Structure 1
Amino acid sequence: MMAVTIKGSYTVSPMETTWCGRMPLTEWDQTGTVTHVPTIYFYHPPQNRTYSTIVSTLKNSLSRVLVPFYPLAGRLHSIPNGRLELHCNATGVPFVVAESSSPLQHLADDFSVSRLSSEHHPLVPTVDYTLLIHEVPLLLIQLTRFACGGVSIGMTISHAVVDGPSAAHFMYEWARLARGEPLQTSPFHDRRVLRAREPPSAPLTDCHVHKEFHHPPLLLGKNDNAEERKKKTTMAVLKLSKTQVETLKRRANENGSCYNYSRYESVAAHIWRSACMARGHKHVQPTQLIVTVDTRCRMKPALPKGYFGNATLDIAAFGLAGDLVTKSLGYVCGIIRGAIEKVDDEYIRSEIEFLKNQEDLRRIHQNETFYGNPNLAVVSWLTLPMFGMDFGWGKEVLMVPATHDFDGDFMLLPGPHGDGSLLVALGLQLAHVDAFKKHFYLDIE
């Protein structure tokens, strides 16, 4: 494991007095497990800046950006029925300063096409989940200097408070303030625009609409996935060149398709069928692909610009492994497109009401068949403004998710050189990784 030495640990609070009080969370904030999502930004050695100046710049700008983004300085508290609420209390954000004897170039040069490993975990602050929930920070930051003078910024942020677009919004504005520029888009904090009606409407009975939260497919002949969860998983990153991406998209839209399937749909469909082959599924094996849909512009009216919270919805596409493997790529894309297109305002409101009527959301928190064999999820960061974060010394060399080891958890990232290539960060059972790589590339050629 990489040697990292902690040189200092601070608590950064909002620079000015901010609103304090209890902020109710929406049903969507409540449905994920109380975990943090870690990312790492790698930078070449900053020119004409000492390390102490970098530390000071980041701490000062973080204190300033926590004024408009004040919920991130607060803490979660448990309330009855497996639910949470956010206490905005300006408790602050841990900021860790560290050094590593490892050279940055060793990490950045081959990181995009090599296996991810635990050696990078020390570059992100550790979240102590043994603490009581109201003691766990929502945001933690670590700045690490490497032997060559390069630096990394490791961030881990609570998924119970924000989704990907909101996390990207925070990082973008923090970088602007660090460069001495003004805030561009203020966060919108009134989450009542996504809350269920008060009082809630009658419980929904149309269970097939929300089957994502009921009984995801299991392996044939199994009553649960406990055995699958015990199997070792690993992480890897695969690269698709621009030509390979274009090949998949062309294949998805061949035979006069009028649907114009997107880059995401084409690659996700290819991943789904490759996973079925790698896992050795039988023809009649049911399988589920989770697609994350941003609802901000799908609601009527659209959510206010800068809405800060969870506004993405997990939608399930269902198929039989045999059909996914033997039929055209366009057929698989059609299943994915059908799942996405059902997400309109009526569906979104229905989903919120469904969750509001659950007596205890811990049942959903503990639904561990959501991913995992025979199911998977393909999350896209292709259009998120998570890249090009310039804090005053240039854009990052590379941005990557720090950990990605859930079985069946896939993430699409743009290639690091802006050349139209893609990175597929994946978590799979160790026994299936080599077979997945084989089918993934062989089927493109």
Structure 2
Amino acid sequence: MAMMKLAVTIKESSLVKPAEATWTGRMPLSEFDMTGTITHVDLLYFYDNKSSTTCFPQNDAASDLLKDSLSRTLVTFYPLAGRLHPKGGGRLELNCNGSGAQFMEAEAETTSLDELSSWFVGADVSGNKPRPSGAEFMPLVPAVDYGSVPIGEWPLLLVQLTRFGCGGFCLGFNMCHAVADGLAAMHFFHEWARVARGEGVGGVGPVFDRRVLRGGQPPLARQPAFDPAQFDHPPVLLHDNDNGIGNAATRLKLTKTQVHTLKEMANKDLSSTLTTRPYTTYETLTAHIWRCACKARKLEPNQLTAVGVCVDARRRVDPPLPDGYFGDAVIDVKATGLSGDLVARPLGYAAGRVREATEKADSEFLWSAIEYMKNQPDLTKFQDFFEEGGEEEEEEPFFGIPNLNVTSWLRLSMLGLDFGFGKEVRMDTTFDFDGDTTLSGSQDGDGSVVISICLRSDHIDGFERCFYDDIFI
């Protein structure tokens, strides 16, 4: 069955600047800001006037409300109105110049959000519904031209309001990860929503000072103890689209009971592991996804495989970062194991491999990683980046068989983004890399978890079968 194509027409594009004069100047970035993903990360929020319990805006009212409240919110979150400034060797500064955030208005040819419903959930196993990859949603995301626009001209925040014929609309956000990680981004979005509701910025204010992570400071005299081998990973056996099959996405829901069952499985025999503390929801679900991916991909038993784990440094470093720290404070670590061991041994084994990787990221590890980065003459090899001309800088990509990445949004306040016209009916993101995975809470608020994963399209069915069948082993 052919995949639907979403046609979107951009009607207007403008820059939204802070409503008042803000501080201007160059702000140093930390090594965490300048490594890993330094391009943009997107989010999609869908709003339906049928489910709204408040006055739903019509015509230009939504864009006027959003642009006005965004302008006022940027007074507090002024770095998002700035631009990156390249210093050479992959190093960057934040140029707080008030250039503004990009705001785009668009119309979708699709008349109703209901027409997109089959895109939000994976096809059934019989293949009666089309399987989307993340690419189908890209027209709803404000685009950044990495190929021809110099890095110093990228808007750090882009917003696209796409209207549907039914009266509902989608808000597509694209925020530069070099300026804000997921926790910081949601801090901003919820404060913007507060302003739009007429409540004003409240709660803990943003802290932009990267000196708490030694941003902009020279390396220390002592040599860092950090082991750069932590950045190594098993080579990708088959890159995206090497065989023309392509990728597809699926979104699978685990009930609160199913999550509990998996945690019982993982913690069944802690005496056989090196830990006595029960495995967390993240460790358990990541282990389960990792094992299912090995089976679905039919990896050889002796195949080394890795799962990327995103670690938040805020409470791991000593001293901990201040509340409201606004920047990128995450580092990726990798858990590795042989496919045969992961599949044949109990779930607790895979969960233990995940824990082993994350527990290495203690304060000493994180400060040592910063010093290691400071001593590097060129950071580009540690960046997921696109050079001018569109070529990827990364020599050997991580995504692809036999690896995967699992990012948790379970502790982020991703849901309930209300700009004054009700909460979203669905939150989503685009992703089309083989092995890219996110965990998020269910829109139902019932304690269930939604797993979104992109795999090679011929591996999706096998993954879905293992994903549910293995819960009851």
User: Which residue is equivalent to 1:135?
Assistant: 153
Cα deviation digits, residues 197-249 of structure 1 (max 9, x gap): 53433443653xx4232x31126xxxxx5756735333222222223222211
Q: Is it true that 1:438 corresponds to 2:458 in the alignment?
A: no
User: Which residue is equivalent to 2:254?
Assistant: 240
User: Which residue is equivalent to 1:5?
Assistant: 9
Contact kept? 1:201, 1:353, Cα under 8 Å: no
- 1:33-182 equivalent positions in 2, closer than 5 A: 33-45=37-49, 47-48=54-55, 49-102=57-110, 103-108=112-117, 111-114=120-123, 115-117=131-133, 118-129=135-146, 130-182=148-200
Letter in 2 for 1:14: P
Q: Secondary structure at the match of 2:471?
A: coil
Contact kept? 2:235, 2:398, Cα under 8 Å: no
User: Which residue is equivalent to 1:222?
Assistant: none
User: Which residue is equivalent to 1:384?
Assistant: 412
Q: 1:94 to 1:351 in 2, by over 3 A?
A: same
Separation in structure 2 between the aligned mates of residue 68 and residue 233 of structure 1, nearest angstrom: 40
Contact kept? 1:40, 1:154, Cα under 8 Å: yes
Letter in 2 for 1:2: L
User: Which residue is equivalent to 2:287?
Assistant: 269
2:325 paired residue among 292, 304, 307: 307
TM-score normalised by structure 1 residue count: 0.93
1:58 is displaced (CA, Å) by 0.4
Cα deviation digits, residues 267-312 of structure 1 (max 9, x gap): 1100011111122222221111111111111122211111110001
Q: Is it true that 1:397 corresponds to 2:417 in the alignment?
A: no
User: Which residue is equivalent to 1:230?
Assistant: 242
Q: Is it true that 1:321 corresponds to 2:348 in the alignment?
A: no
1:416 paired residue among 432, 443, 447: 443
1:372 is displaced (CA, Å) by 2.3
Select between 259-268 and 97-106 the one with higher mean Cα deviation. 97-106
Contact kept? 2:226, 2:365, Cα under 8 Å: no
Q: 1:110 to 1:430 in 2, by over 3 A?
A: closer
Q: Is it true that 1:259 corresponds to 2:297 in the alignment?
A: no
Contact kept? 2:239, 2:400, Cα under 8 Å: no
Which consecutive unaligned segments of at least 5 residues does structure 1 have? 220-224
Q: 1:328 to 1:70 in 2, by over 3 A?
A: same
User: Which residue is equivalent to 2:211?
Assistant: 192
Contact kept? 1:108, 1:398, Cα under 8 Å: no
1:337 is displaced (CA, Å) by 1.5
2:221 paired residue among 183, 193, 201: 201
**Between Structure 1 and Structure 2, how many residues are aligned?**
436
User: Which residue is equivalent to 1:23?
Assistant: 27
Q: Secondary structure at the match of 1:216?
A: coil
Select between 196-205 and 172-181 the one with higher mean Cα deviation. 196-205
1:152 is displaced (CA, Å) by 1.3
Cα deviation digits, residues 113-172 of structure 1 (max 9, x gap): 454443322111111112111121111001122111112111011112111101111101
Which consecutive unaligned segments of at least 5 residues does structure 2 have? 124-130, 384-393
Select between 95-104 and 248-257 the one with higher mean Cα deviation. 248-257
Separation in structure 2 between the aligned mates of residue 171 and residue 275 of structure 1, nearest angstrom: 33
Q: 1:88 to 1:318 in 2, by over 3 A?
A: same
Contact kept? 1:172, 1:386, Cα under 8 Å: no
Q: Secondary structure at the match of 2:185?
A: helix
Q: Is it true that 1:354 corresponds to 2:362 in the alignment?
A: no
Separation in structure 2 between the aligned mates of residue 415 and residue 259 of structure 1, nearest angstrom: 26
Cα deviation digits, residues 91-132 of structure 1 (max 9, x gap): 111111122242012324762445444332211111111211
1:5 is displaced (CA, Å) by 2.5
Contact kept? 1:112, 1:239, Cα under 8 Å: no
Select between 177-186 and 12-21 the one with higher mean Cα deviation. 177-186
Contact kept? 1:95, 1:140, Cα under 8 Å: yes
Q: 1:229 to 1:194 in 2, by over 3 A?
A: farther
TM-score normalised by structure 2 residue count: 0.87
